[in-house]
Structure 1
Amino acid sequence: MARSMIQRRQDAERQRIEAYDARLRQVFAATRPVPDFERALDDARSGFAGMAIRDGALWHPKLKTRDRARLRLAAARYLYARYPVSAALESVWLDSTGLDANEIAFRKSWYVTVARGDSLYKAGANAWLSRKEVHCFLNASGDTGFAEAFWLAIARSYTDDQGLAARLARTKIARTPRRELAFWREVVRFFCGHPASKEEIDDLCDYIGAMHQRDAAYSLKGRTLLSLRRQMLDWHRDIAAIERIEVMRRRAAGRNQRAAGTQAQGGAWDGSRLEDWEWQPTAKDARVRGERFFVRQLKTAEDLVAESRAMHHCVSTYAAKCIAGNASIWVLRRTALGKIERLLTIELDPQNRAIQVRGFGNRPALPEERKIVERWAKARGVTLRA
């Protein structure tokens, strides 16, 4: 049925009113909720029962912010702060992104201690910092974060150059785990005596961290900035060599898997079927108590490159032969008094014949080393050249 003129006018008016209301909703925001002060107090009290110096029930702030982090900081200031506290300590109330629960509790406890006017040094900071370092930490500038202020304090104990100390505090050192403090403190001390740019320190820290992870006894004592640079370049070359070997291994593994219809397994190639070998001399023959010798096969890029670097020879270039199954690389090690000594690198062909037996710098095997290799060869059915 056709609509009358009046009905059409009414529909048009209704649509105009609806459009006007929709526009108003876009222009005028919804009513903002009131700040949740009780929640802020609960957040600030959590884990610190009995530590407040003021009654939270009497807190009547004139704050307009609805930001939970800012309210939490305001509540913490009211509950605990007898004295002003640096931004480095307050930052944990504002943003704890990337921190685990233990680290958050740790930083908050330091804030509460300092805000109340208690001695941070006596409250536990003496496990990491000296009195001088605690003083420097507490007086860090306003734009300094917690970790940065922590390492700035350590660096200032080794140098009077504030610029150098601040530069060190902004490097990757500030992101190292506190359980490794003793090692990285030594690193800071090294760079205080051997200044470098932030970018170079970060690059060197990547290398230093990798060496420390590989060997917990790694130290910078006796090293120079020049030697570290050279070693870092060698390390980068090793990484590149490992990657090239890994590419070869993955390609070979992919071909084998497609042929056999199987899935990739780990990052090692198959290698020889011979088992590793270990021998312990009798108490009469051993040079020291507990002396042992072992021969094991290298089947990963990392091991092959590390052997090549440590023994100063080119065994890493044999990776393609190992991956293809045309050779296997074995190493003879001696362990005594808690230390492992590299002795020989051995190449076997697929028929388990020793093609090469070389020591450091491609030297031939020493007579006593040869005897041990012969013992291994007899036990594993390896043929040695005369």
Structure 2
Amino acid sequence: MNSPSDQKVFSTSLFGRGQPRPRPWYMANRNKPISAQALQTEQAVAALSRHLSWHKWPPARQLDYLFTPGIGPELYARVAATDALAQLHQHCVAGRTVAERTRTKAFLLALAERRSVLLTRPEMAAALGTLGRFYPYRLRPLADWIPKTKNARTQLASLVRHLFDQYGDVPAWVIDAWGAPAADHCGVEMARLTLHLGRGQSLRTFDGLPAPLTKRLEHGLRQAPAGCTYLEAYRYAQLEARAALDWWGVVLESRLGRALGPDDEFWLGVLDLFQATPLADPWQFGPVCDYLDFRRHVGTPAEPAQPGFSLRGRHLATVLTQTARWHQQLTQAQRSAGMLGVPLHTAWPGLPVPDFASSDEEGRVRITQLRTFGQLLAEGRALHHCVASYVQSCQKGRCGIFSLTFDGTRAITLEVNAQRIVVQARGRHNRPMAADERHWVARWLDAAQLVLSKYV
């Protein structure tokens, strides 16, 4: 039997120029038919190999390419993960059944006919995926929707209202949250809530709420401003019922702005105490809550936790004095270690958030994550606040503590939660940020892709 090299020589000598040549041994299956799916994938890959930019394709062609079976690996190899096409594939194609992909493609094709900018914006892909999921439940035809602006977020809100809001009275903060993860809204799936309210149903009858609502709370929730999360709207409703909306920002910057919990009524009682005290400093509300949480849930060897601790019969002046004494004790390293039951050398990995240094040669302005108990103690001692009490939250990955320094001098302590939101920023004696400090924090937010809570 001839070797491959013998075959090559033989075929060359047997056939002259212009004569048909037999296929080499390694191309014996060249004409074997391939499956339709493999053919579609091959054609799509060939299009990319010819360096055709998908941005120049008509929308229908983009969507045909996007929904090509098996195109995912090639797509992600050719375009950045943050590209609009990659994001659309992730949220509208990947992991979906054939029926779901068919419905979603039909929705996107109909949307493309409306000349919407939503298809070209990567940050809108998750919302479009959710729209495709709930598209069968629309109340009006998409063909009747006319985008009146080129602003993507305004278009999205208009489209959601057109499809799912029959009476036009779904609160703006609910519409704004379309497509957001339920984890960002106390477990509430905001798209389902939109459909529920859009059909004229009561908010109180929605089966996915984290806590039951009274009629008064439902009224307050419907009045909450646009841009709220569910938690923020819920706190708005609670404060509206107490005629305490002036305290909304202060409350959201405290532990009441972290999550709903079984102790909510106790913390609202703390707020009532502040409200009832003339000239009470609102900025002390958060520190007092930290102290009271320590008393109720942590405690010390000499004074164990008191879950039933009550403010009944107590004056705010007394509570403020006790809070100040507790803060002072926290600044003393050995006493803090004993109080919190944490060794001084305790360390933790920290959140995956980069530090920051200004672009000058010396790096005069720095924002650095604190990753040891000793660093927390030093920060609290320098700025006279209770950041050391956050050690357990840091250890459990619930938050990260960062220090803003100017020429090595501590200025602001920042708390970042696990959702990459800066939820607290406090200086010496818990003062708020100054304008120059806010400027550098904004630079860091942009570089680290973080979000600053609008109440900080």
Q: Same fold (TM over 0.5)?
A: no
TM normalised by structure 2 equals 0.39
Question: Whose radius of gyration is greater, 1 or 2?
Answer: 1
TM normalised by structure 1 equals 0.45
